Structure 1
Amino acid sequence: MPIDHKQPYDESNIFARILRGELPAKTVFESEHALAFHDISPAAAVHVLVIPKGAYVSWDDFSANASDAEIAGFVRAVGETARIVGAEPGGYRLLANTGKRAGQEVPHLHVHLFGGQPLGPMLAR
């Protein structure tokens, strides 16, 4: 169910639990500021999630409140993850849903990295 990205951070969300080691994840990359892991329900040949380690509900929250080091570390983690999974040479798509209208389902910023196949149009009609 889509969430309201203006609500306070929920420490019980699935990504917070993964970061605390309470739930397993198939890690692709980890740094001081980010964790990347395979999506449990992939929508493409390559489907990896990249999340900041800080408690940020959405891109809006992250861009307004994260430190410069967190922002740089997260953006670099997305690029490094694309290279690690081999998506970079053929091209890839990044998707970050923010709020109900976009269909955000987990109240922790996450970027979907899709690749490994032709991805079609930007938006489904």
Structure 2
Amino acid sequence: MTPERLRALCLDFNGAVEEFPFTPQTSVYKVAGRMFALSALDSVPLGVNLKCDPEQAVRLRAQYEAIAPGWHMNKRHWNTVTLDGTVPDRLVRELIEDSYDLVVAGLPRAVRLTLDRP
């Protein structure tokens, strides 16, 4: 997974935007003003923080050494995924989509409808 591919995946969702509220090196991906992904795209190894269902987060951490409790995040609801090749790209895509969906689910219905997500 390259930084360019990660960025493209995060911006592939309706209403997704990239902002830099912390530092110029830290990309924060948001939908309707709420964060669903965070990554320092210049870090080695590349990693991304993603929102996750708490039960699934625990299972993923047990299954993949490269998935850990969210760094500088609520450890119950966020995972840090180190993109070192040990987590399949397909799963990374699914985890980004799950993170986006969890954030969208918490938005008001009117906002969800503008995103084509009832």
What TM-score do the two structures reach when normalised by structure 2?
A: 0.29
Q: Which has the higher helix share?
A: 2
Q: Which has the higher strand share?
A: 2
